[in-house]
Amino acid sequence: MRDLPDSSTPVSGAGAMLRLVRDGRATTRAELVDITGLARSTVSQRIDALLAEGLLVAAQASTSTGGRPPTVLAFNAELGVALAAEVGVTRCHVAVTDLEANVLAEAIEEIAIADGPDALLPWLTGRLDALLALAGRARADVRGVGVGLPAPVDVASGRPLRQPSMPGWTDVPVGERLGEALGAPVLVDNDVNVMALGEHRLNWRETGHLLFVKAGTGIGCGIVVDGQLHRGAHSAAGELGHARAPRGGETPCPCGNAGCLEAIAGGGALARELTAAGIPARTVHDVTARLRDGDPTARALVRQAGRDVGDVLAPIVDVLDPAVIVFGGELADASDELVAGVREVVYQRSLPLVTRDLAIVHSADGSRAGVVGAAVLAIEHVLAPAAIDAALARAG
């Protein structure tokens, strides 16, 4: 299930036709013939199979020339649904989407990830089932499930890797267990990766290179290169929080190193600093509550945290040359201070060639990017050309 098909394989099957229609590159058989170089009869045979399966729908185009109008093909996003969950440390966002990742129903619930997978996975299955009923759809409609977890994840096996904030989750086969419970393929990835993917598909689809930074209790980033998630050699790409911050000094970090960005600019560190300044705060929620009140101490602390994030990001911007950096996460969402601090440093410090039209922005969709990205992950998997060809072969 996790042997992701190579999208660069020059296949000429029905799955490739479906992708061309989904990507908006072709809407008629004639266009498909032009693009693929296949015989018209071959294209028609494949399109007929996709129509028979309900993956495509055909409509008669209107025409002003009086001739017989061509049949316009469209992807049938209503054929099924995807289930999506963005699981955080204290919050879980669940959604049912159509096969274009449009949200049909969603909910946000308080959780405690430390309760562990034996408690949370059955709970999650129940929540997704309830949402499915709310959307008026059944288990049989579910084509795939996407899940974001606040840990590095081995995407191939669907298992989270070691993460101090997730005791009991290490190496648990989350994908397999949810797959058995829900009866559909499950894709699991890091939460910031799914947020990056969702943000790209929702708002920056025309942009090849995007960096998504989540700033909350922890600080991490997701990288989209040429429209695809960059996961790295060990599914560990994006670990921004444990980079050494210039202002980090010898501040100890739970990771065992000192001076990490998260140790001075993460939500926990800011809560401690706020407390030291006489404003009691325990978690990132307390910090953002003070921010929303306009408290000047909280604002100054978060502004400085933004500069610290900028110090670490500036060389990464020089090296990656992204078109846009999008910020999400509680600390970024609660005010303009964090992103303003990042802008101060990156625009001053990164190369003019790179920053001349670099956008550094808040996520336009707030918290929704995560579930949308999780849905996209599942949809791209089940609609991959090789998966479609295999499904049609079974059906045929």
Cβ nearer to its own copies, comparing 97 with 163? 163
Among 89, 172, 243, 378, binds its own copies (CB under 8 A): 243
Q: What is the DSSP letter of 357?
A: T
Rounded to an integer, what distance in angstroms lies between the CA atom of residue 332 and that of residue 63? 50
Nearest to 189 by CA among 237, 152, 224: 152
The reply on whether position 312 binds its own copies by CB under 8 A is: yes
Total count of residues recorded for the chain: 396
Q: Tell me the window of 32-40, 59-67, 102-110, 133-141 that interacts with its own copies (CB under 8 A).
A: 32-40
Residue whose pair of structure tokens reads 């949810």 in the numeric block: 178
Stretch that binds its own copies, among 38-46, 85-93, 187-195, 369-377 (CB under 8 A): 38-46
Q: How far is the CB of 236 from its own copies (least distance, A)?
A: 5
Please classify residue 151 by burial: count the beta carbons closer than 10 Å to its beta carbon, then call 0-12 exposed, 13-18 middle and 19+ buried: buried
Helix (H, G, I), strand (E, B) or coil at 36: helix
Out of 12, 44, 165, 283, name the contact with its own copies by CB under 8 A.
Answer: 12
68 binds its own copies (CB under 8 A): no
Nearer of residues 10 and 66 to its own copies, judged by Cβ: 10
Contact letters for its own copies, residues 96-135 (x by CB under 8 A): ----------------------------------------
Q: Verify binding: residue 5, its own copies, rule CB under 8 A.
A: no
Q: What interhelical angle do 191-203 and 368-382 show, nearest 10?
A: 90
351 binds its own copies (CB under 8 A): yes
Say how far apart CA 6 and CA 10 lie, in whole Å.
9
CB atoms within 10 A of CB 360: 21
Hey, which residues between 197 and 226 contact its own copies (CB under 8 A)?
A: 207-209, 221, 223, 225-226
For 381, the token pair is 């998997």
Q: Which helix or strand (DSSP H or E) is residue 275 part of? A: helix 267-276
Edge-to-edge strand list for the sheet holding 91-97:
103-110, 91-97, 81-87, 142-149, 186-190
Q: Segment near its own copies (CB under 8 A), from 31-39, 88-96, 99-107, 289-297?
A: 31-39
**What one-character DSSP code corresponds to residue 208?**
S
CB 304 within 8 A of CB 341: yes
- Map residues 354-373 to x or -, x wherever contact with its own copies holds by CB under 8 A: x-x-x---------------
Q: Could you tell me which stretch among 124-132, 177-185, 266-274, 350-358 binds its own copies (CB under 8 A)?
A: 350-358
> Which of 94, 162, 164, 166 has the alpha carbon at shortest distance from 134?
94
- Give the Cα separation of 340 and 288 in Å (integer): 16
122's tokens: 């059955």
Q: By C-beta, is 84 or 169 nearer to its own copies?
A: 169
Q: How far is the CB of 320 from its own copies (least distance, A)?
A: 6
Least separation in angstroms between CB 151 and its own copies = 11
Q: In the bound complex, what is the minimum distance in angstroms from residue 385's beta carbon to its own copies?
A: 7
H or E stretch including 188? Answer: strand 186-190
Shortest Å, Cβ 227 to its own copies: 9
User: Interface with its own copies includes 20 (CB under 8 A)?
Assistant: yes
Binding residues for its own copies (CB under 8 A): 7-13, 16, 19-20, 35-39, 42, 152, 161-162, 207-209, 221, 223, 225-226, 228, 230-240, 242-244, 246, 255, 257, 311-312, 314-316, 318-323, 349, 351, 353-354, 356, 358, 385, 389
